[in-house]
Chains A and B, each alone.
Chain A
Amino acid sequence: MLFKDEEIILLIIAGTAIVMLLGVFIVSFLLLYQRKQNKNVLEKEQLKSSFQQELLKTRMEIQEETLNHISRELHDNITQVLSFVKLNLGVLGRNLGEHEKARVNDNRELIAQSISDLRNLSKSLSFEHISVMGLIKTLEIETERVNRSGIINVSLLVDGDYYTLGEQRELVLFRIFQEALNNALKYAQADNFKMSLYYKEQMFNLTIEDDGVGFEPELLKDKGGSGLRNIVNRAALIGAEATINSSPGNGCSINLSLNPLIQETYVNGTYSNSPG
């Protein structure tokens, strides 16, 4: 009988140990399963994010291709036609009297001005010029062009020793500048537009400010602020962080910073129509 009791005690010990192990198994399984699930969710998020980036990259490539096509059309077709018109007017002017000749010359000057404007516009649309001239030079040309129009006063400040950020990153920065300028002209009714570039050893900073009407910060979350979101998305594409600050009546400021030493995220190739 004593033996039977000991058997029962052993059974209690073994049974308790087994169910406790079962408990450990359940808890461990839950922990491992949850960890794995979290990992899967993270991977899914990363895939989603890389897909979004790929989508944005493709959109930008198409946009750049279109802009380049327009730029070439302007340069190779329209300006050529205008040059031909200018030449014809010159030939025509030889057979006219002094008064008519002066009017034809005025028209020739206007056409020459148009050709020059179109060439500048062509340059600002094409990415080829950025790769050839670099960001600073392109910005200077653009600033000069906009200032000449008298619509807005654009100022450019470059601080630190210039270094190249890479063709693609500079192109994205230039497009951000264009987007911000477009916003300042179209919506902000700004009189002054200031762009500052700070070149430091391990950090590049870009600040764009205008003195326009400003907007509610909530606009950034709304669908209405697609241009502003574009700026943030474009910045993210080159591994930069863009901060947009604004409030009604206080203009708008865009601050963008990136580490020049870290490789760009989408920029290991050239565009399909790039000469490079």
Chain B
Amino acid sequence: MLDYIYFYFELFAFFVCLYTYKKLDRNFKVFLPFLAFIVIYEFANLKYWTLWHHTNAWCSNLETIIEIVIYTRFISALDTRRSYKKRVNIVLFIIVLFSFIDMIFIQGFFMLNTIAIVLQYSMLTVLVCLYYFKLINNVDESLDIIRHPPFWATAGILFYTLAFLFYYIAFSYMAYKQNYKFFILAQVIPNIACLILYSLLSVAFIYQYKKAKSIAAVIKT
């Protein structure tokens, strides 16, 4: 049961997103189809429906590409500067292109593209840090960061990418050696990373919902 804890948190985040969907702002609304996709994808993985040539790595590679696109677009949308968004889009394009190159020419379609994943997660970490840097410098006087939904969502993404960084760096070397202890690690780290990411995303949805509700109440009065 504990092996699938990450799946329950994904499911939980999906239902929170579904419940709060109407009150979410445009930037957050993309999480509903994304989380629906994640839940379906993980469910298919659990049922071994994605096995092809005895591996689901091909599916993971595609899923991480979708993941990086969604998270990058979400973080870049938090910044209003058009030049910044343009630069982020260029970097995103290069990373996605490299992911396909890695998939086709470097590590292969049926192997987990860890080089591309490490690059993707490094980019996300940098983007979150840049967002925090912007928050520090241009912080709004009335902004209460504890109740600021994007802060929680980006914190989730930050912990998620940091948790996976060393894991994926060593993955290619360790996984194919069939080391039992590494398999234990492969169960624990994704569970912890998903637990943090999806619980913080849920917190972000709830704060967004509360914020929208309080604004609506003010307008009503």
Contacts and interface: CB of A to CB of B under 8 A. Distances in A.
Interface of A: 5-6, 8-9, 11-13, 15-16, 19-20, 22-23, 26-27, 30-31, 33-35, 37-38, 41
B135 A19 contact: no
B103 to A, nearest CB: 24
Contact of B129 (A13, A15, A26): A26
Contact of A37 (B139, B162, B173, B177): B139
B167 A12 contact: yes
A26 B163 CA distance: 14
Contacts of A12: 166-167, 169-170, 174, 185, 189
Nearest to B141: A41
Interface in B131-147: 132, 135-136, 139, 141, 143-146
B166 A31 contact: no
Given A11-B170, A16-B189, A41-B141, A27 B155 contact: yes
Given A27-B155, A31-B145, A9 B132 contact: no
B54 interface: no
A9 B189 CA distance: 12
B75 interface: no
Q: Summarize A's interface: helix, strand, loop or mixed.
A: helix
8 contacts: A5-B179, A8-B174, A9-B170, A11-B170, A19-B162, A19-B166, A26-B132, A30-B151
A12 B135 CA distance: 31
A5 B181 contact: yes
A26 B179 contact: no
A20 to B, nearest CB: 6
B203 to A, nearest CB: 13
A9 B136 contact: no
B74 interface: no
Contacts of A11: 166, 170
Interface string B156-179: 001100110111011001100101
Contacts of A38: 141, 144
Nearest to B145: A34
A34 B181 contact: no
A26 B135 CA distance: 12
A30 B135 contact: yes
A234 to B, nearest CB: 28
A5 B178 CA distance: 11
B132 A15 contact: no
Q: Which of A13, A15, A27 has the most CB of B within 10 A?
A: A27
A26 B154 CA distance: 12
A22 B162 contact: yes
A5 B189 CA distance: 17
A30 B185 contact: no
B141 A34 contact: no
Contacts of A27: 155, 158
Contacts of A30: 132, 135-136, 145, 151
Contacts of A13: 185
A8 B185 CA distance: 11
A5 B169 CA distance: 14
B27 to A, nearest CB: 20
Contacts of A35: 145
Interface in B174-216: 174, 177, 179, 181-182, 185, 189
B170 A8 contact: yes
Contact of B177 (A5, A15, A23, A34): A5
B166 A34 contact: no
Interface string B99-119: 000000000000000000000
